[in-house]
Chain A
Amino acid sequence: MTTTDDTERSGETRAAVPGGGRERLADWLDRHAQHIFIWPAVTMILIFSIFPLVASFIMALSRIRLRGGSYRVRFVWFQNFEKQLFGSEQFHFLGTFGGMSILGWVVALLVTGGIVWWVLRYLMSGPTVVGLVGRLFTWGLVLGVGWLLAATFFSGHPFGTLGTTLFYVIFGCGVQFVIGVGLAFLCSLPIKGRSFFRVVFFVPLMITPIGVGYAFRMMADTTKGPFSPAWQWLGLGDFAWAADPWAARFFIMIGDSWQWIPFIFVVMLAALESVPRDYVEAAQVDGASSWEIFKDITWPQVVPVAATVLLIRVIEAFKIVDLPNIMTAGGPGIATESMTLHALFAWRSLDLGQSAAVAYLLLFVTVVTCVSFFNLVVLRRIRA
Chain B
Amino acid sequence: MKIKSLGLGVASALAMSVSAQAQDYSGVTVEILTRPGPVIAQRLVERGEEFTAMTGAEIRVTEVPFSELFQKILTDWATGTNSIDVGVFASGWATELVDGGLVEPLDDYIANDDKINVDDIAPYFREFNQKIGGQTYLITVDGDFQMIYYRQDVLEAAGLEPPKTWEDYLAVAKAVHGQDMNGDGEGDFGSCMFKKRNNQSYFAMGTIAASFVQTKGTNEGIFFNNEDMTPKVNNEAWQEAFRIYKATGEFGPPDELNHDIGDTRGLAMAGRCALVIDWGDIGPLSISEDGAAIKDKMYAAISPGSRRALNVDTGKLEDCNPTLCPNAIDGINYSPFGAFGGWAGAINAKSDDTVKQAAYDFLSYVNQAEQSNVDVTIGWTGYNPYRNSQLESTELWVKAGFSEAAAQNYLGAIKDSLNHPNMASDLKIPGAQQYTGVVLDRELARFLAGEITAEQATANIEEAWEEITEDFGRDSQKTMYNLSLGITN
Set of chain A residues within 8 Å of B449, measured between Cβ atoms: 243, 245, 331-333, 335
B253 proximity list for chain A (CB < 8 A): 223
Does A71 sit within 8 A of B, measured CB to CB? yes
Residue B41, interface by CB 8 Å: no
Q: How far is the CA of A301 from the CA of B253 in the complex (A)?
A: 53
A329 adjacent to B197 (CB under 8 Å): yes
B480 located at the interface, meaning its Cβ lies under 8 Å from any Cβ of chain A in the complex: no
Complex Cα distance, B257 from A70, in Å, reads 40
Taking a contact as CB atoms under 8 Å apart, the answer to whether B442 and A334 are in contact is yes
A357 to B469, CA, bound (A): 20
Contact residues, B95-126 vs A (CB, 8 A)? 99-102
Interface centre among A239, A346, A349, by most B CB within 10 Å? Answer: A349
B contacts with A, residue count (CB < 8 A): 42
**Partner-binding segment picked from B75-83, B302-310, B390-398, B410-418:** B75-83
Question: How far apart are the CA atoms of A234 and B78 in the complex, in Å?
Answer: 55
A69 touches B (CB below 8 Å): yes
Contact (Cβ within 8 A) A68 B257? no
In the bound complex, do residue B198 and residue A240 qualify as a contact, i.e. CB atoms below 8 Å apart?
Answer: no
* A239-B433 contact, Cβ under 8 Å, with A66-B100, A329-B198: no
Given contacts A238-B254, A332-B257, A334-B445, is CB(A350)–CB(B71) below 8 Å?
A: yes
The proximity string for A residues 226-265 relative to B, scoring 1 for CB distances below 8 Å and 0 otherwise, is 0000000000011111110100000000000000000000
Q: Which of A66, A238, A331, A348 interacts with B258 by CB under 8 Å?
A: A331
Q: Which residue of A lies closest to B249 (CB)?
A: A243
Q: Determine whether A345 belongs to the interface, using a CB cutoff of 8 Å to chain B.
A: yes
Q: Indicate if A330 sits at the interface (CB-CB under 8 A).
A: yes
Does B79 contact A242, Cβ atoms closer than 8 Å? Answer: no
Contacts of A66 in B (CB 8 A): 74-75, 78-79, 100
Task: Please state if A331 and B254 are interface contacts (CB–CB under 8 Å).
Answer: no
Q: Are A330 and B437 closer than 8 Å at their CB atoms?
A: no
Query: A333 to B448, Cβ gap below 8 A?
Result: yes
| CB within 8 Å of A: which B454-489 residues | 460, 463-464, 467, 471-472
A345-B198 in contact (CB<8A)? yes
- Which residue of B74, B80, B258, B433 contacts A328 across the interface (Cβ within 8 Å)? B258
Given contacts A66-B78, A240-B256, A243-B258, contact A333 B434 (CB under 8 A): no
Cα–Cα, bound, A351→B471 (Å): 10
Answer whether A240 and B258 are a contact pair too, CB < 8 Å, given A66-B79, A334-B445. Answer: yes
Q: Which of B105-151 contact A (CB under 8 A)?
A: none
Give bound CA distance, A346 to B197, whole Å: 14
Chain B residue numbers with a CB within 8 Å of A222 are 254-255
Check A68/B198 contact, CB under 8 A, given A88-B463, A335-B449.
no
Chain B hits for A242, CB < 8 A: 255, 257-258
> What CA separation (Å) do A180 and B450 show in the bound complex?
36
Q: Which residue of B lies closest to A345 (CB)?
A: B438
Q: Is the CB of A348 within 8 A of B433?
A: yes
B257 touches A240 (CB 8 A): yes
Question: Quick check: is B451 within 8 A (CB to CB) of the other chain?
Answer: yes
Q: Is the CB of A349 within 8 A of B464?
A: no
10 tightest Cβ-Cβ pairs between the two chains A and B: A242-B258, A333-B449, A331-B197, A240-B255, A332-B449, A68-B100, A329-B198, A349-B434, A68-B101, A66-B78
18 sample A-B contacts, Cβ–Cβ < 8 Å, listed by A number: A66-B74, A67-B78, A68-B102, A69-B80, A69-B100, A88-B460, A222-B254, A223-B254, A240-B256, A243-B258, A329-B260, A330-B198, A331-B257, A331-B445, A332-B449, A348-B433, A349-B437, A350-B71
Q: Which residues of B contact A (CB under 8 A)?
A: 67-68, 71, 74-75, 78-80, 99-102, 196-199, 253-258, 260, 267, 431, 433-434, 437-438, 442, 445-446, 448-451, 460, 463-464, 467, 471-472
